[in-house]
Chains A and B, each alone.
Chain A
Amino acid sequence: MSRNLPVLVAALLFAAGYGLCATQYPAFLTTRVVGNLLADSAFLGIVAVGMTFVIIAGGIDLSVGSVVGFTTVFLALAITRWGLPPLAAFGLVLAAATLFGAAMGALIHVFAMPPFIVTLAGMFLARGAGFLLSTESVPIDAPLYGAVSDLALALPGGGRLTLTGGIMLAVFLAGGVLLHATRFGATVYALGGSRQTTALMGVPVGRNTVAVYALSSLLAALAGIVFSLDTASGTPLSAVGVELDAIAAVVIGGTLLTGGQGGLPGTVLGVMIGGLIQTAITFDGTLSSWWTKIATGLLLFAFIALQQGSVALAGRSERRARA
């Protein structure tokens, strides 16, 4: 019960928040707002899925924002300057990012370095590489980009489910299946429980650690593609600080930052709560954008305190059970 409590709280919070917004702004009840909410959260949502895997496995990945930034610049240059077909550029950048993540995972595993410092270095590296490619924003004018921006599924009620929103939903689904219904998923939870015990139980720890970070970088690159589709441009400064938003979304969704517990449904809620705050503040017009950050920080604190409290409670009842 206490395991699902944070997700439940997040769900209630989202429902209450949405209800409150709907009473203030009736537009919230239209599918148009829903469609926009999905589209606006798309790239953060994709990053957060990768982050969920990493955090459940007991790690952290601070490099994702930089990978998104690198991806957008790389795509812009590859498509407009080097004349690569967009799909080939996508494939290339996805492969490169996967390798990058795998390398970070290997460093973490082989040299027993703290994940936050390795991915911090990765953050510098990816951001720096992006800047080295180009220091300014490069517009992308490939026909594919124009076509994609018009591509959308019409929802009843005038809303549109954009391709990017759709990609996010697909990633949520695929990620959910991978995490909750495969051997790899179970291993991710095991890693977060205890790397040592997992190794003693005969599960290869190194290979799975590498896979987790590779997956996170892969998804970050996918988020970068989505970002560049949305903005039809690439700049090395894009997605600064997204790693924090992603971590916040994952935590608000009830995943324990110490690893081993949590899940993707919670992350979806966390992303949506973040999107809701943003949308509400836009609708309000009088509240300034920085309230988003403060609200995120407050929520982050509230949920971590909630986790800490429930962990302490669980510890106490366990001790009582033992006595």
Chain B
Amino acid sequence: MTGIVRRDAGAVRLDGMPIAPRSAEESARAGIATVYQEVGLLPNLTVAQNLFLGREPTRFGLVRGRAMRQRASERLAEFGLSIEVGAPLGSFPVAVQHLVAIARAVDLSARVLILDEPTASLDTHEVTVLFGVMRRLAERGIGIVFVTHFLEQVYAITDRITVLRNGRLVTERETAQFPRLDLVRTMLGRDLAEEEARAETGPRVRRTAGPPVLRAEKLGKAGYLQPVDLSVAGGEVVGLAGLLGSGRTETARLLFGAERPDQGRILLDGKPVRIAGPRDALKHRLGYCPEERKTDGIVADLTVRENIVLALQARQGPFRPLGQAAQDRIARNFIAKLDIRPPDPERPIGLLSGGNQQKALLARWLATEPRLLILDEPTRGIDVGAHAEIIRLIRSLCEAGLALLVISSELEEIVTYSDRVIVMRDRAQVAELADGAIDVTAILRAIAAEAPRTASACQPEPA
């Protein structure tokens, strides 16, 4: 709609007139303004400068600072904000920055305002303020497209819901006639009745799990993740389910030391350990395949072989190098075992398909012979064939006695391989399902559970 990505089908009409913006600038001129999740303003400039950048009031070529600040104050007052507009934007909380971004967008042109995940980093009170502003704008006749994954907020503010899934339009309905469970179901693309039928016909094999390899007790970080309790045993797959942004990746990063927790502790084999960084985690034989393959996983310039041996080599330290022959053996072994294609260990990994990159990353961690492997969205963005292979792989790893913690948005997938499922919502743990209780319906119910307060009620408050 904003023209940043060129469309190749369909039409956009504004007041019945077709428009075809080719850039953010053009769409803004046409009257479509967008505010992204990352505040698209400059924190080093003052609030007033941000509001008027590129169109400052001037006289004889000089900016009329006082007039600009006064106008800025007036504009922001309409949004219920009374702040020092001469102060740098970065000195204000994110919520205020968002409101300023919206103010700029509305002021520029807008008849249609697109808000992309504006509430992702706001607290409850700030969300309320934002919603107040949105209602007032709507009353002024501005159309608002509110992109979000927070269900509560969808019901709190919207008139109509459009559900998109994997780049496809799923449905569009009036909010009032769209029950919560239906919404979650359409979001995840599951037909409930069918799921329940399948859950009954497919008997689950109960695997006997040993003592927990890893236990996390009240692991959390203020403003990042509310305290989480979980344990994983050898030969057990624990699924972490939840919508995008519900705190799954955050849990994984805290466990692996990629982010420092400020409360709780981690026990390995019953003994408390200090994991101050990925290096410590590696030493304790933990592994973590991150969700963002490109930025956090692969080193695109290096070959498949080098990418595979990277973690093992890191654990051995620089002065006990794996010889060329050993590296080659490890790489070829995993290429054959995981069927990485093309089977050329010397090809830069950046040239491989997503599925094969994912397999190479799996190989990187398997090469370190981990006790616990954390897989974050292992099947995201890879084709159907590779998808099935990865799931088969997860099963066989588990049978080999590895402890696995798997994060996935594909509920059906989680149900098929998990022994236990932990459900997350809004950065907190909301439910834990075991054995017979694991089915898609139960997970959906937990995700869609009505009152958000129960989320924190079902776990002890942090001291």
Contact = CB atoms under 8 A, between A and B. Distances in A.
Interface of A: 3, 177, 181-183, 185-187, 189-190, 192-194, 197-198, 200-203, 260-261, 314, 318-319, 321-323
Given A189-B49, A202-B54, A319-B223, A260 B24 contact: no
A200 B24 contact: yes
A198 B42 CA distance: 8
A183 B40 contact: no
Contact of B45 (A183, A193, A202): A193
A190 B121 contact: no
A322 B61 contact: no
Contact of A202 (B24, B61, B222, B224): B24
Interface of B: 24-25, 28, 40-45, 49, 53-54, 56, 58, 61-63, 65, 88, 90, 93-94, 104, 121, 222-224
A321 to B, nearest CB: 5
A186 B46 CA distance: 10
B61 A182 contact: yes
Given A322-B223, A323-B223, A194 B65 contact: no
Contact of B65 (A181, A200, A261): A181
A193 B58 CA distance: 22
18 contacts: A181-B63, A186-B53, A187-B53, A187-B54, A189-B42, A190-B53, A192-B44, A193-B45, A198-B42, A198-B53, A200-B24, A200-B40, A201-B42, A201-B54, A202-B24, A318-B90, A321-B93, A323-B222
A192 B88 CA distance: 14
B25 A261 contact: no
A194 B43 CA distance: 9
A197 B88 CA distance: 16
Contacts of B63: 181-183, 185-186
A170 to B, nearest CB: 17
Contacts of B224: 323
B455 to A, nearest CB: 18
A202 B29 CA distance: 10
Contacts of B49: 186, 189-190
B43 A193 contact: yes
Contacts of B93: 321-322
Contacts of A186: 45, 49, 53, 56, 63
A87 to B, nearest CB: 26
A31 B115 CA distance: 61
A197 to B, nearest CB: 6
A201 B222 contact: no
B85 to A, nearest CB: 14
A322 B92 CA distance: 9
Contact of A201 (B41, B62, B223): B41
> Is chain A's binding surface mostly helix, strand, loop or mixed?
helix
Q: Which 3 A-B pairs have the closest CB atoms?
A: A323-B223, A193-B42, A260-B44
A192 B90 CA distance: 14
Given A181-B62, A197-B42, A322 B121 contact: yes
B42 A322 contact: no
A176 to B, nearest CB: 12
Contacts of A187: 53-54
A47 B104 CA distance: 36
Nearest to B92: A321
Residue of B44, B45, B104, B121 ringed by the most chain A CB atoms within 10 A: B44
Contact of B42 (A181, A185, A194): A194
B54 A193 contact: no
Contacts of B65: 181
Nearest to B62: A181
- Most chain A C-beta atoms within 10 Å of own C-beta, residue among B25, B41, B53, B62: B53
Q: Which of B54, B58, B222 has the most CB of A within 10 A?
A: B54
B44 A201 contact: no
Nearest to B262: A323
Nearest to A185: B63
Given A177-B62, A261-B44, A322-B121, A183 B54 contact: yes
A249 B142 CA distance: 50
Contacts of B54: 183, 187, 201-203
A189 B94 contact: no
A294 B224 CA distance: 45
Contact of A189 (B24, B28, B44, B58): B44
A183 B28 CA distance: 21
Contacts of A200: 24, 40
Q: Which residue of A181, A193, A260 has the most chain B CB atoms within 10 A of its CB atom?
A: A193
A193 B223 CA distance: 26
A193 B25 contact: no
Contacts of A203: 53-54
Nearest to A319: B223
B40 A190 contact: no
A93 to B, nearest CB: 26
A201 B53 contact: yes
Contacts of A198: 42, 53
Contacts of B24: 200, 202
Contacts of B43: 193
A177 B224 CA distance: 44
A192 B43 CA distance: 11
Q: Which of B40, B104, B222 has the most CB of A within 10 A?
A: B40
Nearest to A198: B42
Contacts of A190: 42, 45, 49, 53
A319 B221 CA distance: 12
Nearest to B57: A183
Given A189-B44, A193-B42, A322-B121, 12 more contacts: A181-B62, A182-B63, A183-B61, A187-B53, A190-B49, A201-B40, A201-B104, A202-B24, A202-B25, A203-B53, A260-B44, A323-B224
